[in-house]
Structure 1
Amino acid sequence: MSSKSFNKRTAATFFLGTAISGSWYTATSALITGQTGEIIPVVGAIVLAGLTPLAVNALRPGDDRVSGKHYMAQRLKAFDSHAIVNIVDPEGLLEQVNDRFIELTGYTRAQLIGQPVSMLYQEEFRELATKIRATLMQGKTWQGETPMRCADGRVIQTQCTVMPLFDKKGAWAGSISARTDVTHANELLAERDTSETLYELRDDIWIVDAETHCFSYMNRVAMSRTGWHSDSYSKRTLEDLAKKSGNQTVLDACRSLATAGKTMTQFDTELFGNHFQVTIKLLPIGGTAGRFLIMLHDISDIINEERMKSEFISMVSHELRSPLTSIKGSMGLLLSRAAGELPSKARALLEISHRNADRLVLIINDILDLEKIANGRLEFNLEETDIAELLRETSAANSSLEQRHGVRIHVENNDSPMQVTTDPNRVIQVLTNLLSNAAKFSKPGERITIRAEENEDELRISVTDRGPGIPASEEHKVFQRFADLSNSNRADKGGTGLGLSVCKAIVENLGGKIGFDSREGFGTTFYFTLPKKNSQVAAEEPASLLREAS
């Protein structure tokens, strides 16, 4: 053997041993602390550096110490407890793998040997395999982190050193790769980074064992709020928190998640004198009960701002309603010729003013209704009501819509009485809003249909038009306050943008549900249900309803 070949091989062997032992030292130093962390990285690095020459010698073609692939595989077994080793031939096909490679990836040797090494990479990383091969063919060693696909589809991260192989004549003979599985190390580092991030968040973060209810993590804000420290909170439970805060809503929610088989819940509650939006996620871990991830977002400032905004809007609306009502009344008298005949131009201008005064009064009334609903102050007077008669009354009361928009209102299925316990005035208010919308979006001559249907428990009332329908992309905005759809053209058609949100609040407070079916270009049906027996009106939390209506 020439000294030149010997020196090249010696240098390459030295480089490979240094790379492998260095990777071991770096990974274990980051994961292991204390006295053990000072010993294991050093000892492991020394062992790997010593074993590397043995493995490289096992690859020397033509040497009298190498009697075939079987003997080479035996020598490679020395690496099984430390590194994942594979050999690739000049065509890029896997020629040999060690036992640890088989153990970690789940492949059999028969599935690997003779297959292209690129099979170990996901499609998006195939280019990386090409770059590695180009580097090796230049006689250079490649080092870096590579993902490796396992037989079951998992992807593990490996710290990899790939060294080119040449025969005695200096011809390209393939490569040998030595890898260290750093998946767990990366996960631990990611967990550490996540923990550091969570620690600095302004929201309270708790992690609780789902079986014992003991706290396993609290960030800085949570510890400050509870008065528990990192050396003591692990001894505390959700039961302790319920006693300390005087509120066991969080405890009850966690119990409910565990028994109902759900994975997430969200609600508002008050803890330690502050209002919070609480999000709880149940994170399963293998076959165990798992952990609860509990996040508390302080919404005290939001609630105070909403209250102040609501009070301001209510005050302004009350102050505006009286003078506007007087202005509207005066203009109505003028239009009815109470002060004599008006010039045609003056009458036209007055009609415009009267319509806009009407619109302003509607906006103010809707705002005041929303404010009353949000604060639980909207009055409901429940009584036995014949819905069939109520539909006929509503149709007659809205006959002006037929004249103004040239439409026809038709009531179906109103021959037989339909008794329900509800507030008839509020139901008329909802129907008037729905009829007004239907009329605005219908062409002259079109028919608007009101229909009531009943079953054993509830009654369903619907209003159907043949207008342009609601764009599918905008259906989510329909019940929002001041919703303005792309085909609504509010400036021409009028409307407050509040009517449907008021309808939703009234129907839900009456114990029913509201919804719609629409097909763009063919029309829309708005419907709502009412329970036949309604012993009381359910009033929601003011802040919660305000946020829902926003």
Structure 2
Amino acid sequence: MTLNFNTQSTLISKLRPWLILSTLLILATLVSFALGTYISFTSQAMLFVLIVAIAAYLLDRWQSVTGAVFSVLLLNFFFVPPTWTFHIEHPEHLIALGTMLIVALTINQLTANLKQKTVQALQNEQRARQLQELAIGLALSETVGGIQELGKRAFEQAFQAKCYLVLSNLAPTAQQLESLSQQQIDGLHHCMKEMQVLGAGSLRWGELNDWYIPIGNKKVGIGAALIQAKASDDHDNQAHAQAICSLLTQAFERLRFNLQMQSAQNEAQKQQLQSTFLAAISHDLRTPLAVMVGAASALRSQGDNFSQAQQAHMLQSIVDEANYLTSVTENTLQLVRLSETGSQLHRDWESIEEIVGAVLARIKQGRIETRLQANIENDLPLLRLDPVLIAQLLSNLIDNALKYSEGIVELEVKVDQHLVPPTLHIAVMDHGPGIPTAEHNSIFEAYSRLAKHDQANQRSAGLGLAVCRAIAIAHEGQLIVNDREGGGSCFVLSLPIPQSPFIHPENGGALP
């Protein structure tokens, strides 16, 4: 039933133009009969010329040519004496009919050319718009898969056929292998190898029903496109397909150059970082080493000549310089580690109270530190983090606060449930001279020092805060500094609180 319906629809679509032509010829004949007593033979001929012009506009070339011939025959048969015959008595009638036939065919030819140019102009406009949209889409695409999908869609839209786009450095997907025949796979490989158009519209493998178009150039072969079902060998189709391929080539080349440029930038940053580290070692490690060597040599060679107080002072200077070297070395190693791409953190579910407690115990060890006050909320959630790095971050912040300020240093740990996701805030607040607003970002750069700290003879390698921010970023958090009312600085570490795997909603949020 469906097959018969489709067959009837196809038959009707084929017969419709001829029915239109027949209707126009019958209409012209009836109008000529109706007006025959009022108009001349010339006017009757003009009616048929009008019908020829309408047919040329509505129908294709051969149908309109047929209409022109039948118009002359109908005019001769019904309206040229002797009527109802094809015999022509007067030569002027023969000339009139011949002239009418020539005029009708000329109108047909001009109308057909106009239609063809109109269709071509509309097609060129659509293709230009498609290329413009494709260029915009490719400019915004930053992945190989995105460019590949845009190219495939552009070919299918342009040629109304199933298309595949295969890249030379990527094997066809399983879905493509299932859909393509061995001949088509061989055609794609040969197209990419030779970088020439194959199939319909080309001088090679022109008998194929598929069209193979290379993407790239002779120097760099990127891939090939396969258009299933025979594509027209029209020159405009080839030019449009090559324009699409040119846009795809530029997009793939742009992506490749961007990756190379990013790689070069990363390598340059790595080299710059290494050079900076070498400069820091030569500058920041040489002085404490010289002090340690000098003090140790003096104690060994002339220790008996120094008083106990002088010996104790030298020993303390050795200890202080060794601690300073340890701090610089740890910060340098951590900064190198965190700066490397692909570095992995040793994360685990940790209690922030235990980390803060361990840091406070280390700072207070061996001395009575009454300036440090801690305010920690109860029932803090577990965080998935690297405890060693977080402890180093807090140690750097607290040590800096104690070193560069006088008075109470406050440590505050609390949770902000109003943020999404909920966030843990650790604030280290002091009553020191503060940090100029213009330097709130620069102090987190490696080897950055505040001028007033240098003037106060406070030695620093400028690595501590850089390491702190790198640790915060590695934990998807942030570290900022704000000014306090009444003077001083407030360093705030914000860490997102992930969903703990130990919490089960079905148990009412209780631990298992």
Same fold (TM over 0.5): no
State the TM-score, normalized to the length of structure 2: 0.43
Q: Which has the higher strand share?
A: 1
Specify the structure having the higher radius of gyration (Cα): 2
Q: Which has the higher helix share?
A: 2
State the TM-score, normalized to the length of structure 1: 0.40
